[in-house]
Amino acid sequence: MTASSELRGDELIAKRHLPAEPERVWAAFTSPASIAAFWGGSHATVPPESVTVDLRPGGEFALDTRAPDGATRRLRFVYVSVAAPHELVFDEPLTGLRTTVKVHPAGGGTDLTVHQRQLPPELRTAQAADGLASILDALAVHLQHPDITPERSTS
């Protein structure tokens, strides 16, 4: 199964069923090493040393993406809501883009929905929709590795 994505005006929604329990999916979205392994999808790489995660409302999540031509772009987000292991909401401060990640147990695994709102005009494209879907497909491949374990929350 591959991810599906739908562009609706200034919103982009991508969905994928993952054959892993919600806690493992959550760990992948909140662990710097896992984020580096899948975030670029099929269109970029993420140097592991570039990923920072301060997993709390108001905390920052940042990473560098490196395109095949070598161009590097810093992405920075601020967590709005952290409800482990079910929902993660973060904003991109420069554009106002809001991303909501929903993790729901289903069918012996997890249904994952990534909903982006207030997309800037340059991201309202089929290429952006395909890019987000490829990130979820890369996550599915990453989750096939048994070394991804949920981190214990201290909150």
pTM flag (> 0.85):
yes
With cut-offs at 50, 70 and 90, classify the pLDDT of residue 63.
Answer: very high
Asked if the structure places residue 20 within a domain, the reply is yes
Mean pLDDT, residues 53-60 taken together: 98
Instruction: Quote the domain boundaries for residue 68.
Output: 4-142
Q: Compute the Cα dihedral for 54, 57, 58, 60 and give only its sign.
A: positive
For residue 100, CA distances in Å to 5, 47, 71, 129, 145 come to 14, 24, 27, 15, 25
Asked if the structure places residue 148 within a domain, the reply is no
Q: Give me the pLDDT at residue 147, please.
A: 65
- The share of the chain scoring above pLDDT 70, in percent, equals 93
- 9-53 pLDDT per residue, tens: 999 999 999 999 999 999 999 999 999 999 988 889 999 999 999
Asked if the structure places residue 123 within a domain, the reply is yes
Instruction: With CA atoms as reference, report the closest residue to 94 among 71, 76, 121.
Output: 76
Q: How far is the C-alpha of 82 from the C-alpha of 99, rounded, in Å?
A: 12
Q: Give me the pLDDT at residue 43, please.
A: 86
Asked if the structure places residue 151 within a domain, the reply is no
Asked if the structure places residue 152 within a domain, the reply is no
With cut-offs at 50, 70 and 90, classify the pLDDT of residue 152.
Answer: very low
Q: Judge whether residue 55 has pLDDT over 70.
A: yes
Average pLDDT, the chain: 92
Mean pLDDT, residues 60-68 taken together: 95
With cut-offs at 50, 70 and 90, classify the pLDDT of residue 1.
Answer: low
Helix intervals (H) in the chain: 22-30, 32-38, 126-142
Asked if the structure places residue 84 within a domain, the reply is yes
Q: What are phi and psi of 45, to 5 degrees?
A: -115, 160
85 preceded by a cis bond (ω within 30 of 0) = yes
In the chain, the number of structural domains is 1
Asked if the structure places residue 149 within a domain, the reply is no
Q: What is the CATH number of the domain that holds 84?
A: 3.30.530.20
Helix intervals (H) in 44-110: none
Asked if the structure places residue 52 within a domain, the reply is yes
